[in-house]
Amino acid sequence: NAGVTQTPKFQVLKTGQSMTLQCAQDMNHEYMSWYRQDPGMGLRLIHYSVGAGITDQGEVPNGYNVSRSTTEDFPLRLLSAAPSQTSVYFCASSTVTLGVTEAFFGQGTRLTVV
Partner 1 sequence: DAKTTQPPSMDCAEGRAANLPCNHSTISGNEYVYWYRQIHSQGPQYIIHGLKNNETNEMASLIITEDRKSSTLILPHATLRDTAVYYCIVRGTASKLTFGTGTRLQVTL
Pairing of strands 10-13, 109-113: parallel
- Smallest gap, in angstroms, from Cβ of residue 62 to partner 1? 17
Distance CA 108, CA 105 (A): 8
From residue 3 to residue 42, the character string flagging contacts with partner 1 as x (rule: CB under 8 A) and all else as - is -x-------------------------xxxx-x-x--xxx
Distance CA 108, CA 114 (A): 19
DSSP state of 74: -
Distance CA 102, CA 98 (A): 11
Contact 57, 47 (CB under 8 A): yes
Q: Under rule CB under 8 A, which residues in 44-103 are in contact with partner 1?
A: 44-45, 48-50, 58, 88, 90, 92, 94-96, 99-103
- Out of 53, 107, 112, 114, point to the residue binding partner 1 (CB under 8 A): 107
Site residues (vs partner 1, CB under 8 A): 4, 30-33, 35, 37, 40-45, 48-50, 58, 88, 90, 92, 94-96, 99-108
